[in-house]
Amino acid sequence: MKINKDRLVKTLQSLVRIPSFEDSIAVSRWVRNELEGLGYKVDSDNDGNLIAEIGKGPGFILNAHLDTVGPGDGWKHDPFAGVIENGRLYGRGSSDCKAGVAAMLEIARILLEEKSKKRVVFTFTAFEEGYPLGQNGVYNILPKLHDIEKGLMLEPTTRGNTIGIAVGCRGSAHYRVDILGKRGHSAYFPVSDNPVYKFPRFLQELMKVPKKRMKVKVLDEHVEDKVTVTEICAQEGPNVVPGKCAVMTDRRSLPDEKADEFFKTLQAVCKKSLGKDFRLQQESGLQGYVFEDGKFLEMCKKAVGSVGCRPNPRFELARTDACILYNFGGIGTFMLGPGDISQAHQIDEYCELPGLSKTTQAVLAVIKSWDK
């Protein structure tokens, strides 16, 4: 059965019109009503995480997150109107990740109408956009997921006539370095006591850390790690030498990196460039993953080709919740979904409607090809 394109677009419009950047309760309630209206039994919690399923036996999971970032200023279109113009639907979350939510609702309807016997588990989760692990919706529903073999996370991977199939992602961690100095009046204290002036030494040493590479066998290509300074703060007054300069580093790690490996590397960088004048702490961290399943990848590529699109197998450079499904739930997961990741968090975010329908059809084709 083919998807209903008009219904799919209207579903995405309805989702975009429900703001979900502060919490996901309202949009979760709407999705739950849609599922229950179709006849699904829905498990929900206080955060708005939802689970619904069809069929019996080993399961195939689909996931998309309900929350978005805030709208920001400067939009040409109302970020919550779902305006359609030149084949694009504009609105906050239209690509990231309400296109995936709309696709899942359309697939849930079709599988029910077809009386599918395959067990497919639909999960709609909250607190994906920058929240700690303890709040993350995927992490919190894991105890309720049982006997699930594989799945797709419907993060946006579509651009034009190309549909990405991400087989893994880098990890993400944040490390704070407090460069220490001596607080005092700027007219009297020597330059050597100013922690801001010590920062270039730290940065120079950090940039000497060699990059690491890892081969992703299923893609037959190598990927690299990355570290970036993302914040620096030493503001204590225009005529005050600050007592410390706080530096935040963003670490994008490879799946094979050990938990404390980069902490030790960063500690060595600090000691060499700052001596004893520093404090170092890790503020967050999730390990990356790669799912080396060539058979599943070929299945996904074939499904993408069946809707007239070009498959683009790749490794995701950002961190996604797929690493939580894989590392904490043991569920082999690829990322394949409607929407364009380059639109994520952008002013005037949009979703290309041809890609929305084709990718939804491709995800449905994967499910139908999956042999439990």
CB 155 within 8 A of CB 341: yes
What class has domain 171-286?
alpha beta
Smallest CA-to-CA distance from 197 within 250, 238, 241 is with 241
What per-residue confidence (pLDDT) applies to 131? Answer: 85
CB 331 within 8 A of CB 149: yes
Query: How far from 122 is each of 138, 169, 316, CA to CA, in Å?
Result: 12, 22, 23
Give the domain ranges of the chain: 5-169+289-369, 171-286
Q: How far apart are CA 320 and CA 152, in angstroms?
A: 12
> What are the pLDDT digits (tens) for 26-47?
999 999 999 999 999 999 999 9
Place of tokens 């939804």: 360
pTM over 0.75: yes
Please state whether the peptide bond connecting residue 97 to the residue before it is cis, i.e. omega within 30 degrees of 0.
yes
Full DSSP string of 136-189: -HHHHHGGG--SEEEEEE----EETTEEEEEEEE-EEEEEEEEEE---EETTTS
The letter for the amino acid at 83 is: V
| Residue 326 three-state SS | helix
Q: What angle do CA 360, 366, 368 make, to 5 degrees?
A: 105
CB 318 within 8 A of CB 224: no
What class has domain 5-169+289-369?
alpha beta
> What are the pLDDT digits (tens) for 192-206?
789 999 999 999 999
What per-residue confidence (pLDDT) applies to 176? Answer: 98
What per-residue confidence (pLDDT) applies to 266? Answer: 98
The letter for the amino acid at 185 is: H
Burial classification of residue 196, based on how many CB atoms lie within 10 Å of its CB (0-12 exposed, 13-18 middle, 19 or more buried): middle
Q: How far apart are CA 67 and CA 104, in angstroms?
A: 15
Non-local (6+) Cβ contacts of 134 within 8 A are: none
Sheet holding 84-85, edge to edge: 84-85, 88-90, 350-352
Binned average pLDDT, 10 residues per bin, the chain of 372 residues: 94 98 96 98 97 96 97 96 97 98 98 95 94 93 96 97 98 97 86 90 98 97 97 93 96 95 98 98 95 98 98 96 97 98 96 98 96 70
